[in-house]
């Protein structure tokens, strides 16, 4: 099945909005943030006064030999300032480490929670590979943005401001003008070129996600690829996307080289002009050798962060682009959400009623039309009908993966929209046609029905599902790994695991969604017996394909094109000689298991 991709990040990005989305998570650590900023200022002040002590040392050592005195105060001041700069810098890093990692953890947890709150519609359209890559890049982008904003951008801006003030205070105004002019030209050039480069970065991200999605999709469906011998086709698809990614990556690199060259020209021009002014001052006796050393030291201090500032700015823009997609996921609206006054469901006996339900997955394609039926507490209702009649839609609506368009679904006369989703789903157990297991142990997969259950309770559930003996005969017993999606187990074994975890959950409502239709006849009969025991005294909805499995149901309804065509017990429906009777006759004769629409 082809599923749609999220699409590229929007062109009109709002970096301020992305940063605002991040700030609440950072501000949860406000004490550490304030302390780290204080250390940052202290480290930069110590760093900026270093050249002042160095100037005093050079000037005093430049005196004639008869007047030469060891500049003890200047030397001690220089040593103290250098030590303070290092110590406060390390303290800043240590304090901010928990801010960065803690913010990433809380955002990742919030996003994970939000993804589970999104509707089934979103998850049926997403691509797992691209989604995981977006989240991975987004969380890494957060760490990068926080670290470099606090450790590079703010210190550099602070240092530029202090150096400019010192140059204005001690020297000719031209020194400050040249310094600020160089920095302004550098920043403007970097900003303009980086903005143009971002289109290549977005394209790289998109193509990277698409290539990753196709690779993961092909690997997950390994057997299907091998069945049809489509290894070459999958490789071509993957390689085509990688080729496009390479084109964008090359353009990205060329534009980066142009940016670096331009930055080098600007910095070199500024340094040369400042040294020229310093040399003029020494020649005209308005500046000492110590002043030249001071200006040179400031130039050296500014050159390294300024040169790095270009890289940091580019990477911050990249990080913002990566974060944008991740925060975009968090902005996905919840299609099905709890009402403000929703209350938990608490019952051990559940009566279910569908009242004139209309529903469609798309606005222009209705699936259910005025569907009404009820299941008294502890009773069993079976739903049969041709493929596409809307049978499985009933279970999705009962789980409230979607909300009905009109009508209502009630449990004990309470609309399920007035109940919390968590409590509703705690009261429903399901054994689906295709049981998908986690790539973990059999013990873990059974315990998933009720995390925290004791091992004894898990074993009892396994015995109830008649899988305990099978498990004990395995070399690793309950610690046996089931493989990706449970592929190491047969269909019958997977169904028994599904039954066991439903028994462990012990819900008052049970849904059997064509639970045995994919099994052979012998295995089906054995598992049907187990399902009857599990369904005893539970309100049970059976979605059936093989009619022989539901002859004992208290009531059977026949769906046709989303409408209830017939209803009654097995005996009643046979006597009516309608659609159900035709389906029964065909299945008994072995000619067909599905009646074509309109055959009755």
Q: Which one is predicted more confidently, 198 or 361?
A: 361
Q: Are the CB atoms for 402 and 122 separated by under 8 Å?
A: no
Distances (CA, A) of 12 to 19, 190, 199: 15, 20, 11
Query: For residues 317 and 192, what is the distance between their CA atoms, to the nearest angstrom?
Result: 12
What are the tokens at 359? 């529903």
R_g (Cα) of the chain, nearest Å: 35
* Domains of the chain, CATH where assigned: 15-330 (1.20.1560.10), 352-427+507-589 (3.40.50.300)
pLDDT exceeds cutoff 80 at 277: yes
Where residue 130 falls among pLDDT bands split at 50, 70, 90?
A: low
8 A C-beta contact, residue 128 and residue 216: yes
428-432 and 509-513: which strand pairing?
A: parallel
pLDDT tens-digit profile of 405-464? 999 999 999 999 999 988 998 999 988 887 878 888 889 999 988 888 899 999 998 988
Confidence band for 64, pLDDT divided at 50, 70 and 90: low
Each residue's pLDDT tens digit, 196-222:
777 777 777 778 777 787 788 888 888
What's phi and psi for 362, nearest 5 deg?
Answer: -120, 155
Answering whether pTM is above 0.95, one says no
**Contact between 212 and 237 (Cβ < 8 Å):** no
Which pLDDT score is estimated for 5? 36
Q: pLDDT tens across 66-105, in order?
A: 455 667 787 888 888 888 888 988 898 888 888 888 888 8
Which residues does residue 428 pair with via DSSP β-bridges, in sequence order? 509
What pLDDT was estimated at residue 231? 83
């Amino acid at each position: 099945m082809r599923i749609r991709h999220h699409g590229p990040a929007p062109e009109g990005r709002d970096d301020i909005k992305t940063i605002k989305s991040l700030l609440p998570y950072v501000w949860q650590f406000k004490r550490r943030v304030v302390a780290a900023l204080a250390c940052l200022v202290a480290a930069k002040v110590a760093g900026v006064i270093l050249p002042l002590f160095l100037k005093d040392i050079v000037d005093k050592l430049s005196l004639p030999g008869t007047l030469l005195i060891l500049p003890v105060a200047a030397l001690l001041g220089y040593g103290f300032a250098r030590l303070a700069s290092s110590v406060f810098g390390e303290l800043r890093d240590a304090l901010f480490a928990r801010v960065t990692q803690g913010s990433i953890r809380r955002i990742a947890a919030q996003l994970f929670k939000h993804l589970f709150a999104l509707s089934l519609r979103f998850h049926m359209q997403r691509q797992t590979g691209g989604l995981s890559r977006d989240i991975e890049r987004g969380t890494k982008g957060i760490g990068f943005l926080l670290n470099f904003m606090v450790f590079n951008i703010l210190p550099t801006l602070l240092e530029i401001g202090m150096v400019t003030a010192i140059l204005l205070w001690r020297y000719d105004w031209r020194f400050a003008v040249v310094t600020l002019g160089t920095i302004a030209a550098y920043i403007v050039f970097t900003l303009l070129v980086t903005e143009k480069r971002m289109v290549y970065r977005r394209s790289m991200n998109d193509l990277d996600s698409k290539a990753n999605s196709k690779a993961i999709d092909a690997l997950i469906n390994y057997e299907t690829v091998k069945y049809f011998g489509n290894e070459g086709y999958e490789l071509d698809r993957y390689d085509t996307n990688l080729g496009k990614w390479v084109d964008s990556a090359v353009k990205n690199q060329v534009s980066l080289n142009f940016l670096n060259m331009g930055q080098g020209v600007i910095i070199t021009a500024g340094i040369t002009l400042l040294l020229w002014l310093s040399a003029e001052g020494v020649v005209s006796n308005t500046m000492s050798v110590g002043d030249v050393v001071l200006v040179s030291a400031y130039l050296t201090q500014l050159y390294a962060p300024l040169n790095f500032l270009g890289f940091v700015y580019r990477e911050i823009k990249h990080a913002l682009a990566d974060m944008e997609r991740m925060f975009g996921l968090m902005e996905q609206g919840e299609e099905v959400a709890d009402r403000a006054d929703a209350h938990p469901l608490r019952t051990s006996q559940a009566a279910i009623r569908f009242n004139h339900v209309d529903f469609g997955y798309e606005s222009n394609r209705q699936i259910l039309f005025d569907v009404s039926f009820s299941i008294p507490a502890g009773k069993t209702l079976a739903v049969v009908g041709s493929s596409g009649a809307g049978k499985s839609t009933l279970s999705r609506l009962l789980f409230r993966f979607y909300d009905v368009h009109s009508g209502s679904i009630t449990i004990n006369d309470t609309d399920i929209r007035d109940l919390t989703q968590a409590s509703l789903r705690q009261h429903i157990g399901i054994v689906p046609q295709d049981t998908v297991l986690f790539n973990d142990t059999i013990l873990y997969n059974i315990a998933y029905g009720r995390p925290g259950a004791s091992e004894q309770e898990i074993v009892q559930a396994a015995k109830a599902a008649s899988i305990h003996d099978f498990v004990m005969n395995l070399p690793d017993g309950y610690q046996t790994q089931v493989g990706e999606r449970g592929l190491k187990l047969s269909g019958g074994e997977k169904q028994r695991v599904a039954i066991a975890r439903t028994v462990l959950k012990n819900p008052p409502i049970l849904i059997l969604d064509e639970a045995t239709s994919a099994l052979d006849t012998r295995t089906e009969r054995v598992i049907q017996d187990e399902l009857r025991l599990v369904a005893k005294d539970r309100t049970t909805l059976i979605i059936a394909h093989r009619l022989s499995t539901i002859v004992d149901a208290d009531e059977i309804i026949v769906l046709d094109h989303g409408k209830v065509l017939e209803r009654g017990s097995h005996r009643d429906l046979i006597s009516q000689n309608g659609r159900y009777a035709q389906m029964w006759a065909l299945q008994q004769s072995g000619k067909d298991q599905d009646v074509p629409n309109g055959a009755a």
